[in-house]
Chains A and B, each alone.
Chain A
Amino acid sequence: MLSSPYINEKTSVSIIMLKVMLALVPAIAAYVWYFGPAILISITIASVTALALETIAVKMRGLPAKPFLMDGSALVTAWLLALSIPSIAPWWLVVVGTFFAIVVAKHLYGGLGNNLFNPAMVGYAVLIISFPVQMTHWAAPYSLAGEHLGLMNTFQYILGGTLPDGWKLDAISTATPLDTLRTQLQLHRSVDQISQMPIFGSIGGQGGEIVALLFLVGGIYLWLTRIITWHIPVAFLGALALIAGIFHLVNPQHYATPWFHLATGGAMLGAFFIATDPVSGATTPKGKLIFGAGIGLLTYLIRALGGYPDGIAFAVLLMNITVPLIDAYTQPPVYGHKGSKP
């Protein structure tokens, strides 16, 4: 150390990332419970790919690999990507998505801390644009499928694309509640009718709503341990609920309830784990509110009016573009400058 301070808080990027992963564990456990063990396999594939690519990329940039592998950021990206795409997606889909997340979105922009876009969401966006069919095969909840594929069979399916005798793809996969809502509305069914369908749980889809609740719990843990601040999640979920509420009030038979929108799709995961990615998000307190609210609004607009069932990834990426502007215009007044803007 050349100059003070000579002490540091016992913290590091690794510890932060570790806590983020820890916060994801309850929701992942619930995911396994409701949708089968496939998610564990896809998380593993994503993690291994991410670490391998991270090592290569860091080495190619002439940096020591160990501290960068240890920082955990590649693993967090891998987990978030795996949790955003169908768990029973074929292995190469996960690998391609991870490649775009780690190599393109992260390292081509200069590595940790320099990426303009949320890496996991870049990976997701590439996949949904390039492989829309594979991206719609979601694992069916246990309550609908009656039983899950075992771990080995799932493994075989993800790696080889083959199902055991007697199983059909339909039995293990289904459309998500958001997908269902979208297609059924196009068939001129009302929200009331649609929500009678078995895929809909109490508010946000069979099993999915419990997973969402546990993402919320993990998010609160992150807030309590000061890994994240409240601004982005509250603004995100608040804006999403508000606009969903307005649309719902105007036409309840065509627009689902705000509760449904909060409890389904990637809302909770997005609010607490994805939009809060520090590197690509706004940094000032006011900026975080604007950034979060922007994601909430865009997410709803894409869900309700746009071309994709869930809009989080595009909402996040669009708001990533605006970050420098938001930050520049929301600088808080410095001590002794109250009243006088820079």
Chain B
Amino acid sequence: MSHRIHSFHGGVHPEENKQVSTQHPIAIASMPSHVIVPVRQHIGQPAKPCVNVGDRVLKGQIIAEADGYISVAAHASTSGTVTAVAPHPIPHPSGLSDICIHIAPDGQDQWIERKPIDYRNLNASALRNRLRDMGIAGLGGAVFPTFIKLNPGVPQKVQTLLLNGGECEPWITCDDMTMRERAEEILQGAAIMRFMLRAETVLVGIEDNKPQAIAAMQRAAARCDFPVEIITIPTLYPGGGAKQMIKTLTGKEVPSGGRSTDVGVATFNVGTALAIHRAVNHGEPLISRIVTVTGNVAQAQNFEVLIGTPIQELVALSGNSADPVSGYLMGGPMMGIELAQIDVPVVKATNCILVKSAKLFPPPPPAMPCIRCTRCADACPADLQPQELFWFARSKDFDRAQKYQLFDCIECGCCSYVCPSHIPLVQYYRYAKSEISAREKEQQAADHARDRHETRLARIGREKQERAEKLAQKAALKPAADSATDDDPAAAAKKAAIQAAIERAKAAKAESDTAASTE
């Protein structure tokens, strides 16, 4: 049982700080005072609200339906009354608002009727629709609607089901704790995915800094009725990134712009597998998730939290620490986002709330010039040359940035992390990417406008010509009246008439020209 491990280029070893939040088992977070469910918590089209203010909803009831191909439903995470369907700030670095469905819980936590899905006897597309209506989206961070990934298109295209138990960001331990405590359920979810994908191999990749999770998963795998390989991989950030995990376990590289299924692998986060199991075997939609609350708090811990719980209420459960709070991150320190405010809800993408203090996260020293030491390039898991991209981004040479594959940057932050000049490199790449996208949009809009303009000109031209033709026809009608049934003479006459008209026009113009020049 020694699976061959491949290595990917680059990577860094930030201080882990994971032990602080793994001292206690996962706790059930207490019922929030109110619940705020955004209609878009996944990549794709927002779901369409299907409840009204004043409606009583039950726990697990669909309150917004999937809309469009890439979309999943949203659910009430507890029973209560809809108090608003209105914009509310969502966890986003810009503090943006989005449509949210607000529910005042009634405290009864009353479920809808829950029926397991008989997945073995359901046709594939019906099964996928059920998962979409169960609101299942990837819990690893990208929040991609899961049912789409379980639709590999060509049968047998996906040979390998890869469960990603890699959790490489410092501080975050929600997947680790989930594997420790719910290994069996994760693998029950894997069984369903394996069935849907008709995958031959099931691999689970876990970093060697999670020995208890590895042991738990191995015990569960031993009891499984299908072969599951639990593979220990070296701890190296960002080894838990899907592309890096695929490279580590299979040696294959997902082609740029492609998907993992292009190399015959479907990758799911372990939490997603658990959610699939809850949905299929228990009829429970995705209304809660495990969230790590850690950092500058009295007691760091993992909680099972209802989606829609205001983050401030969740953080309060961990208690205040003595140090002043200097901010809140959603996600880890390497890729997480700074929350502008904390009255935003926990969403499906919320894996960790990291409370900052100046002591834990001192501001970096001022940026110095790049000395081209290439530590960033040595650390880049995408094999990019970050120092060149930085140069291009800073000098707004976006064409060259794109030529050097800026868009293959996964924004993992390794380059910024190692830079001795403390240059916020990733910030430059995000800026360059958004500039390029904006320009492309502008270009598209301009193209569109030009197209419209050209169409309009063409239409005007056409109308003119049609008018001219009509006129000519009228003129030609008289002499050609007797042979009107014959097409050719009519056309010839039309041509002649047009020609005559042109001739006349030319003559008139020439006349006025000579008149003008002799004056």
Question: CB within 8 Å of B: which residues of A?
Answer: 1-9, 11-13, 15-16, 67-68, 71, 73, 111-114, 226, 229, 278-279, 281, 283-284, 327, 331-338, 342
Contact status B256-A334, CB under 8 Å: yes
CA of A67 to CA of B335, assembled, Å: 28
What are 28 of the A-B contact pairs (CB < 8 Å)? A2-B424, A3-B337, A3-B424, A3-B426, A3-B427, A4-B426, A5-B335, A7-B15, A8-B364, A8-B416, A11-B420, A12-B365, A73-B371, A111-B369, A113-B369, A113-B372, A278-B373, A278-B374, A283-B372, A332-B385, A334-B383, A334-B405, A334-B408, A336-B257, A336-B382, A337-B256, A342-B404, A342-B405
Q: Are B12 and A9 in contact (CB under 8 A)?
A: yes
B151 at the interface (CB under 8 A from A): no
Instruction: Please give 17 more A-B residue pairs, beta carbons under 8 A apart, in addition to A73-B371, A278-B371, A278-B373.
Output: A3-B338, A3-B427, A4-B333, A4-B336, A6-B334, A6-B336, A6-B338, A6-B356, A7-B14, A7-B334, A9-B14, A11-B418, A113-B368, A336-B253, A336-B254, A336-B256, A337-B408
The answer on a CB contact under 8 Å between B369 and A342 is no
A316 to B334, CA, bound (A): 38
* Contact string against A for B residues 226-256, beta-carbon threshold 8 Å, 1 for contact and 0 otherwise: 0000000000000000010001000001111
B216 to chain A, nearest CB (A): 29
- B372: chain A residues at CB < 8 Å are 113, 278-279, 281, 283
| Complex contact B408–A336 (CB within 8 A) | yes
* Chain B binding surface SS class: loop
Q: In the assembled complex, which residues on chain B have CB atoms less than 8 Å from the CB atom of A229?
A: 374, 378
B369 near A1: Cβ-Cβ < 8 Å: no
Q: Given contacts A7-B333, A283-B385, are A1 and B363 in contact (CB under 8 A)?
A: yes
B219 to chain A, nearest CB (A): 34
* A338 CA to B252 CA, complexed, in Å: 10
Partner of B404, one of A15, A331, A338: A331
Question: Of B256, B364, B378, which one neighbours A1 at CB under 8 angstroms?
Answer: B364
Closest to A337 in B: B256
- Give the 7 A-B residue pairs with the shortest CB-CB distance, closest first: A5-B413, A336-B256, A113-B369, A278-B373, A6-B333, A334-B405, A335-B382
In the complex, the answer to whether A4 meets B334 with C-beta atoms within 8 Å is: yes
In the complex, what residue of chain A is closest to B361 when comparing beta carbons? Answer: A6
Taking a contact as CB atoms closer than 8 A, the residue among A4, A68, A113, A342 that contacts B371 in the complex is: A113
In Å, the complex CA distance between A342 and B388 comes to: 14
Q: How far is the CB of B218 from chain A (nearest CB, A)?
A: 30
Q: Select A335's contact among B256, B337, B366, beta carbons within 8 Å.
A: B256
Which residue of A is nearest B93, CB measured? A3
The answer to whether B361 and A332 have CB atoms under 8 Å apart is no
Q: Is B430 an interface residue (CB 8 A)?
A: yes
CA distance A16 to B370 in the complex (A): 13
B382 & A334 in contact (Cβ 8 Å cutoff): yes
The answer for the CA separation of A13 and B253 in the assembled complex, in Å, is 34
**Distance in Å: Cβ of B17 to nearest Cβ of chain A:** 10
For A1, the chain B residues whose CB sits under 8 A away are 338, 363-364, 424
Residues of B within 8 A of A332 (CB): 383, 385
**Of A6, A8, A334, which is within 8 A of B422 by CB?**
A8
Chain B nearest CB from A19 CB (Å) reads 11
- Judged by a CB distance under 8 angstroms, whether B45 is at the interface is no
Min CB–CB distance A1 → chain B (angstroms)? 7
A42 CB to closest chain B CB (Å) equals: 25
CB distance from B7 to the nearest CB of A (A): 13
Closest Cβ neighbor of A331 among chain B residues: B385
Indicate if B264 sits at the interface (CB-CB under 8 A).
Answer: no
Q: Is the interface of A mostly helix, strand, loop or mixed?
A: loop
Determine if B421 is an interface residue (Cβ-Cβ < 8 Å): yes
Q: Give A338 to B15 CA distance when docked, in angstroms.
A: 32
User: B389-410 vs A: 1/0 string, CB under 8 Å?
Assistant: 0000000000000011100100
CA–CA, A337 and B243, complex, Å:
13
Chain B residue at minimum C-beta to C-beta distance from A342:
B403
Chain A residue nearest to B244 (CB atoms) is A335
* A112, B12: Cα distance in complex, Å: 26
A67's partner among B243, B366, B381, B416 (CB-CB below 8 A) is B366
Q: What distance in Å separates the Cβ of A100 from its nearest Cβ neighbour in chain B?
A: 20
Nearest chain A residue, comparing its CB with the CB of B422: A8
**Given A7-B14, A7-B417, A284-B385, A335 and B364 contact (CB-CB distance below 8 Å):** no
A327 to B421, CA, bound (A): 21
Minimum CB–CB distance from A195 to chain B (whole Å) comes to: 40
Contact A9 B417 (CB under 8 A): yes
B-chain residues with CB within 8 Å of residue A2 when the two chains form the complex: 424, 427
Chain B 8-37 residues near chain A, CB threshold 8 A: 8-9, 12, 14-15
C-alpha gap A38/B368 in the complex (Å): 35
> From residue B364, how far is it (CB to closest CB) to chain A in Å?
5
Give the chain A neighbours of B336 by CB distance below 8 A.
4, 6
Cα distance A333–B338 when bound, in Å?
A: 33
- A3-B427, A112-B368 given; A8·B421 CB < 8 A: no
Contacting A at CB under 8 A, from B339-393, are 356, 361, 363-366, 368-375, 377-378, 381-385, 387-388
Closest beta carbon of chain B to A234's beta carbon, Å: 16
The answer, yes or no, to whether B170 is at the interface (CB within 8 Å) is yes
Chain A nearest CB from B362 CB (Å) reads 9
User: Is B258 in the interface zone, CB < 8 Å from A?
Assistant: yes
B329 an interface residue at 8 Å Cβ cutoff? yes
Q: What residues of chain B lie closer than 8 Å to A337, measured between beta carbons?
A: 255-256, 405, 408
Of the candidates A8, A226, A229, the one having the most CB atoms from chain B within 10 angstroms of its own CB is: A8
In the bound complex, how far is the Cα of B9 from the Cα of A333, in angstroms?
Answer: 11
For the complex, give the distance between the alpha carbons of A67 and B420 in Å.
13
Q: Quick one: CB contact mask for B424-448 with A, threshold 8 Å, 1 for yes?
A: 1011001000000000000000000
B residues less than 8 Å from A4 (CB atoms): 329, 331, 333-338, 411, 413, 426
User: A335, B408: Cβ atoms under 8 Å?
Assistant: yes
Q: Assess the B404–A13 pair: CB atoms within 8 A.
A: no
* B388: A residues at CB distance < 8 A: 283, 327
Complexed CA–CA distance, A335 and B404 (Å): 12
Which of B404, B420, B427 has the most chain A CB within a 10 Å cutoff? B420
A9 to B404, CA, bound (A): 26
Q: Which residue on chain A has the smallest CB distance to residue B331?
A: A4
Chain A residues with Cβ below 8 Å from B416 are 5, 8
Q: Is the CB of A334 within 8 A of B384?
A: yes
Question: B421 to A13, Cβ gap below 8 A?
Answer: yes
- State in angstroms the CA–CA spacing of A342 and B402 once bound together: 10
CB distance from A62 to the nearest CB of B (A): 14
The answer to whether B364 touches A333 (Cβ under 8 A) is: no
Chain B residues with CB below 8 A from A333, complex form: 383
Give the most central of A1, A15, A73: most B CB within 10 Å.
Answer: A1
Q: How far is the CA of A7 from the CA of B329 in the complex (A)?
A: 12
- Within the complex, which residue of B15, B243, B361, B373 is in contact with A336, where a contact is CB–CB below 8 Å? B243
Indicate the member of B14, B256, B337, B373 with the most A CB atoms within 10 Å: B373
CA distance A1 to B423 in the complex (A): 10
Residue of B nearest to A336 (CB): B256
